[in-house]
Copies of this chain bind each other. A is one copy, B any other.
Amino acid sequence: VITEPLSWQRTSGGVTAPRGFLAAGVHCGIKQRKRDLALVVSECEATVAGVFTTNRIKAAPVLWCQEVVRRGVARAVVVNSGNANACTGERGLRDAREMAERTAQALGISPHQVLVASTGVIGVPLPMEALRRGIPLAARSLSRSGEEAAEAILTTDAFPKTSAVVTTVGGVQVTVGGMAKGAGMIHPRLATTLCFLTTDASVPAPVLQHALQRAVAESFNRITVDGDTSTNDTVLVLANGRAGAPPVEDERDLERFTEALTVVAQDLARMVVRDGEGAQRLVEVVVEGAADPRDAERAAFAVATSLLVKTMLHGGEPNWGRVVAAVGYSGAEVEERRVAVWFGDVQVVRGGVGVEGVFHQAAQALRQPEVRIRVDLGLGPGRARVWTCDLGEEYVRINGSYIT
């Protein structure tokens, strides 16, 4: 997607970087002390698009959001952390609706224009008393800063994740901003990814949905395995048109806008990986030379999700056999004698066998904060890139005692 790197520029801020958006992040009492309730509000009606978990078990707020996105118009997003409101039955659906209603009431808007998201423990009913107190407080705390909101959506994340870029549509500058919640996992297998994007561009809802799907395909779907998604995964974008640019319609504008949206989504997705629980390294896995793109993706995900590769990355040992073996079981077409592997710039496998005398260089390449594993299958034009991180003891400690 990124074909014209000069068509956009990074800027500061997150969801409130685009004009006409306000945000707040407060503590309402779901968590003991940390902020646990975020609000993002557009000053006027915005078109909305969304991408949601493919899990057959969907949390109540996901079902609510899907209705709002179907209508295509929204004004606000209310998000709580500390509780996923998933596997909570009828009561969960009532609670999600009440979150929308209380937010609508506090803002003087329609509940049908309020998106709802939740993240945290599964199967425990929402403590609604806390939310009833917190929502009016959040509405009173709205400001042009997105910082508190970015904090309030976190669970086990080590740092808040925001990004924003400017681009032009019809010669007028527009801004795309966003914030995300780390999946709290090495890759978002089960723990929830939430991402909220905003823009002051004017984008018809169907166009916005199309652009969002392309952006997610190149970002959040590059750090997860198909189908391995939580009950709550949600990516939303609101476009309020406040930049005064003409609607994004012609192909050139659509490309530019999609590119900007993709950059923000990729920034956030990479931050999610970098913040994997206990992770020390951001790892890019590139597979080239596959028979086709689907094979490249299979092989890249097999490497990126292999526990043995991830623990190798943690320890920093260049045990490349684990990479070759993962490619071998990925389902991709593989001819052993054509396989080549690089750790950083160091070639460790040529013609399916190890390159001698590179152990220490290769180990060095693996011990950087950003690591690249490149595999060339030598068979065709298929190429794919995914991001992952190492798996450390810390991950086990965090997930071994999540509730208590």
A401 within 8 A of B: yes
Among A54, A55, A190, A402, max chain B CB count under 10 A is at A190
Docked Cα-Cα span, A57 to B349, in Å, equals: 14
Set B88, B186, B307, B326: member contacting A399, Cβ < 8 A: B307
A227 lies within 8 A of B329 (CB) = yes
B404 lies within 8 A of A397 (CB) = no
B396 lies within 8 A of A306 (CB) = no
Docked Cα-Cα span, A325 to B397, in Å, equals: 21
Docked Cα-Cα span, A124 to B330, in Å, equals: 22
B320 lies within 8 A of A123 (CB) = yes
A122 lies within 8 A of B55 (CB) = no
Set B229, B306, B404: member contacting A317, Cβ < 8 A: B404
Docked Cα-Cα span, A227 to B327, in Å, equals: 11
B122 lies within 8 A of A328 (CB) = no
B228 lies within 8 A of A329 (CB) = yes
Within 8 A of B (CB), among A324-361: 324-334, 336-337, 339, 349, 351-354
A127 within 8 A of B: no
A400 within 8 A of B: yes
B231 lies within 8 A of A317 (CB) = no
Counted per complex, copies of this chain come to 2
A354 lies within 8 A of B123 (CB) = yes
A319 within 8 A of B: yes
A353 lies within 8 A of B89 (CB) = yes
B404 lies within 8 A of A393 (CB) = no
Question: Smallest Cβ distance from A191 to chain B, in angstroms?
Answer: 7
B191 lies within 8 A of A308 (CB) = yes
Docked Cα-Cα span, A84 to B89, in Å, equals: 51
Q: Mark A294-333, 1 if CB is under 8 A from B, else 0.
A: 0000000000001110011011010111101111111111
B324 lies within 8 A of A87 (CB) = yes
* A398 to chain B: closest residue by CB: B311
A8 within 8 A of B: no
A391 within 8 A of B: yes
Set B56, B121, B334: member contacting A56, Cβ < 8 A: B334
Question: Smallest Cβ distance from A204 to chain B, in angstroms?
Answer: 32
**Chain B residues positioned under 8 Å from A190 (CB to CB):** 306-308, 322, 325-326, 329
Question: Smallest Cβ distance from A397 to chain B, in angstroms?
Answer: 7
Docked Cα-Cα span, A54 to B230, in Å, equals: 30
B86 lies within 8 A of A399 (CB) = no
**Chain B residues positioned under 8 Å from A317 (CB to CB):** 400-404
| Also in contact, A396 and B391, with CB within 8 A (given A229-B329, A334-B57, A349-B87) | yes
Of all A-B residue pairs in the complex, the 6 with the closest CB atoms, nearest first, are: A122-B321, A315-B400, A57-B328, A311-B399, A55-B328, A89-B353
